[in-house]
Amino acid sequence: MKQLQIASIPGDGIGKETVAAGRKVLDTACEVHGGVTFEYLDIDWSCEYYKQHGQMMPDNGLDILRPCDAIYLGAVGFPGVPDHVSLWGLLLPIRRTFRQYVNLRPVKLMAGVQTPLANRYPGDIDFLVVRENNEGEYSNMGGRLYQGTNEEVVVQNTVFTRAGVERVVRYAFELAIKNGRKKVSSATKSNGINYTMPFWDEIFAEISSEYPEIENNQYHIDALCARFVTHPDEFDVVVASNLFGDILTDLGPAIAGSIGIAPSANINPTRAYPSMFEPVHGSAPDIAGKGIANPMGQIWCGAMMFDHLGYQDCGDLVMRALADTLAAGTTTADIGGHANTMEVTEAVCRRIKKLAGSVPS
Ligand code: NAD
Ligand code: IPM
Ligand code: MN
């Protein structure tokens, strides 16, 4: 029996509810598989922790996470602590220190889920967004001068490195090949942003030429957003900078039914450091503590974590159970259902047990 160590960081708001739900599903899948178990390292870093300690995590926080096999995180950020303080104190340092330079975010309209788009059905919306996750617009570099005066000036730098752009664009093409996808689309804004964006376009063109079998397209981000709504069926793999990828991956889940179902994997492809699995959504302060959050984004992240850790059979099992649960209409209010977080979670666990007889372990 293989035992893997997973750092479990529920964080803030609904993160506490969705991580508890996700862990039930992970444990059920491990149980029926029989060859792997997760030992959790329970971590309480959050905005509450900040209020007690004046920081989001201890000084040696990243050293605590480094030896783990993976990190399973809920959400970070809650009213009462400024978002840039909470996020730069916990989530963003993890992504950067552990070189999780790929943020992989599948967007898929599942059977049983309504899209707000007319005449679109499962199969029409099914693409993978590869978001650059370590640099770009999230540079943490800049400054503010003459604060509070009418001469005040604020600058935030955007940083692209050749190595950083090349590796994420190449990952997108390799992902297309691995998944039998035909096309990679890139999002920039090189008409208005005249250094970084033409640089990205140039590198995208260079790397594209190494993959003649994969079609490639470049879009301006504004036009691409519109295209997601009017022609979502055109996309296979989409690669974008940190900020553009962030925006596209709230828009994508919105057309695929709900952000509550959207997963995200912060991947260090070299495996030198742990990768982190967290849903796309945040702490949802408006519904936190009510037990009604959709746990499916967190559960789907669990499936991606199994795949990453080499237990694809467990990942497939979780995804089949999730799809069956959705198709049967056991859903939370954000996708039109009447079930609460735990009812959905238990329904997924029941299906895992039911399906288990038919999967190899
Ligand atoms: P949010 O994703 O938390 O919420 C946006 C809307 O979607 C809300 O109406 C919320 O109720 C709904 N929603 C989100 N997840 C849901 C779920 N699982 N089930 C049902 N409904 C759901 O975005 P926000 O309000 O912009 O951010 C709230 C806080 O979370 C902020 O502090 C923000 O910085 C933080 N945040 C953190 C992460 C992260 O840790 N990865 C991601 C996004 C936002
Ligand atoms: C996400 C979130 C984060 C991001 C925020 C909370 C810093 O929106 O994971 O999509 O922009 O990366
Ligand atoms: Mn986001």
6 phi and psi angles, rounded to 5 deg = -115, 125
What CATH number has the domain bearing residue 81?
A: 3.40.718.10
Residues 210-228 pLDDT 10s? 999 999 999 999 999 999 9
Taking the alpha carbons of 30, 6, 319, 275 in that order, is the dihedral positive or negative? negative
* Cα of 73 from ligand 3 centre, angstroms: 14
| Closest-lying ligand 1 atom to the alpha carbon of residue 77 | 32
157 phi and psi angles, rounded to 5 deg = -85, 150
Rounded distance between C-alpha atoms, residue 211 and residue 174, angstroms: 9
Give residue 357's pLDDT.
Answer: 83
Rounded distance between C-alpha atoms, residue 319 and residue 347, angstroms: 13
In this structure, the residue with its CA closest to atom 12 of ligand 2 is 246
Residue 303 domain flag: yes
What total number of domains does the chain contain?
2
Residues with CB under 6 A from ligand 1: 14, 75-78, 83, 87, 91, 259-260, 278, 281-287, 293-294, 297, 332, 334
**Are 274 and 332 in a shared domain?**
yes
**Are 139 and 73 in a shared domain?**
no
Q: What is the ipTM of this complex?
A: 0.99
- The pLDDT > 70 percentage for the chain reads 99
Hey, is 138 helix, strand or coil? coil
Residue 105 domain flag: no
**Are 250 and 263 in a shared domain?**
no
Contact 171, 162 (CB under 8 A): no
**Are 32 and 125 in a shared domain?**
no
Is the confidence at residue 361, as pLDDT, over 80? no
> What is the residue-wise DSSP string for 29-65?
HHHHH-SEEEEEEE---SHHHHHHHSSSS-TTHHHHH
Residues 36-82 pLDDT 10s? 999 999 999 999 999 999 999 999 999 999 999 999 999 999 999 99
Contact 175, 237 (CB under 8 A): yes
Domain termination residue (choose one: 221, 256, 291): 256
Mutation probe of ligand 1 site: the residue of 48, 283, 341 with most atoms within 8 A of C-beta = 283
Residue 77 domain flag: yes
Residue 216 domain flag: yes
Residues 240-289 pLDDT 10s? 999 999 999 999 999 999 999 999 999 999 999 999 999 999 999 999 99
**Which of 115, 148, 129 lies closest to 186 in space, CA to CA?**
129
| Closest-lying ligand 1 atom to the alpha carbon of residue 278 | 41
Give residue 311's pLDDT.
Answer: 98
Domain termination residue (choose one: 256, 278, 306): 256
* Cα of 126 from ligand 1 centre, angstroms: 22
- Confidence bin at 151 (pLDDT 50/70/90): very high
**Are 239 and 224 in a shared domain?**
yes
Average pLDDT over residues 112-121: 96
Ligand that comes closest to the CA of residue 297:
1
Asked whether 87 lines ligand 2 (CB < 6 A), one says yes
Residue 13 domain flag: yes
Residue 106 domain flag: no
* Cα of 211 from ligand 2 centre, angstroms: 31
| Closest-lying ligand 1 atom to the alpha carbon of residue 287 | 11
Give residue 358's pLDDT.
Answer: 58
Average pLDDT over residues 142-169: 97
Contact 176, 183 (CB under 8 A): yes
- The pLDDT > 90 percentage for the chain reads 99
**Are 50 and 16 in a shared domain?**
yes
Burial 291-329 (b: 16+ CB within 10 A, else e): ebbbbbbbbbbbbbbbbbbebebbbbbbbbbbbbbbeee
Pairing of strands 142-145, 153-156: antiparallel
- Which helix (H) or strand (E) element contains residue 26? helix 15-33
Average pLDDT over residues 317-330: 97
**Are 132 and 233 in a shared domain?**
yes
Domain termination residue (choose one: 256, 281, 303): 256
In this structure, the residue with its CA closest to atom 11 of ligand 2 is 246
Mutation probe of ligand 1 site: the residue of 14, 281, 300 with most atoms within 8 A of C-beta = 281
Contact 267, 125 (CB under 8 A): no
* Cα of 264 from ligand 1 centre, angstroms: 13
Place of tokens 């057309």: 255
Asked whether 224 lines ligand 2 (CB < 6 A), one says no
Give, in degrees to the nearest 5, the angle at Cα 127 between 123 and 133: 160
**Are 196 and 275 in a shared domain?**
no
Place of tokens 């605590």: 64
Is the confidence at residue 360, as pLDDT, over 80? no
> What is the residue-wise DSSP string for 84-106?
HHHIIIIIHHHHHHTT--EEEEE
Rounded distance between C-alpha atoms, residue 73 and residue 87, angstroms: 13
Rounded distance between C-alpha atoms, residue 105 and residue 256, angstroms: 12
Is the confidence at residue 330, as pLDDT, over 70? yes
Is the confidence at residue 136, as pLDDT, over 70? yes
**Are 139 and 252 in a shared domain?**
yes
**Are 205 and 282 in a shared domain?**
no
Asked whether 280 lines ligand 2 (CB < 6 A), one says yes
Ligand that comes closest to the CA of residue 77:
1
264: left (phi over 0), alpha (psi -120 to 50) or beta: beta
Summary mean pLDDT of the chain: 97
Residues 289-300 pLDDT 10s? 999 999 999 999
Residue 110 domain flag: no
Average pLDDT over residues 17-38: 97
Q: Rounded to 10 degrees, what is the CA torsion of 55, 61, 62, 68?
A: -140
* Cα of 151 from ligand 1 centre, angstroms: 35
Is the confidence at residue 359, as pLDDT, over 80? no
In this structure, the residue with its CA closest to atom 7 of ligand 2 is 87
Average pLDDT over residues 339-357: 96
Residue 300 domain flag: yes
Q: Is 337 exposed, middle or buried (0-12, 13-18, 19+ CB in 10 A)?
A: middle
Q: Enter the pTM of the model.
A: 0.97
Domain extent at residue 154: 115-256
**Are 272 and 248 in a shared domain?**
no
**Are 294 and 241 in a shared domain?**
no
Give residue 7's pLDDT.
Answer: 98
